[in-house]
Every structure is written in C-alpha cells, then in structure tokens.
Amino acid sequence: MTRQTAIGRALMVAVFAPSGGLSGQGVAEFSQGREWWPWLVAALVWLIISGSISMAVSNHLDEHR
C-alpha cells in the first residue's frame, strides 16, 4: 500500500465514521420521540466540512506526485 493510499483510506474513515455516528444518534433520538433533526444537521455539516478538507489534502498530495 502506498503512502497516498493509506492517507486516502484514513481520510475516508475520518469523514464517514463520525457522520454515521451522528446519523445513528439522530435515529436513536427519533425512536425515543425526541428532537432528531439537530443530529442530522450536524452529520451533514460534518460531511461538508470534513469532506472539503479531505478533498483539499488529497488534491495537495496529487500535486506533489
């Protein structure tokens, strides 16, 4: 596995794992009859921000190859 591949995999986990946890918390809140939408908004915000950072890092690594 190359260094770029390892970094790419780590970035994928850093983007999607927390988002899945936030979405899961939203589902748990919904099943208990509580407000669930803040958790889904947080998951969406996390995906946008961390995905943008991940793309910037990935593009930066591609430029140096």
Domain ranges of the chain: 3-63
- Biggest CA–CA distance in the chain, Å, is 51
* Whole-structure pTM value: 0.79
Using a 10 angstrom Cβ sphere, with 0-12 exposed, 13-18 middle and 19 or more buried, the burial of residue 9 is exposed
Distance CA 40, CA 44 (A): 6
Distance CA 38, CA 18 (A): 15
Give tens-digit pLDDT for 19-61. Answer: 999 999 999 999 999 999 999 999 999 999 998 988 888 788 7
Residues 39 and 26: beta-carbon distance below 8 Å: yes
Give tens-digit pLDDT for 3-22. Answer: 767 877 888 888 889 999 99
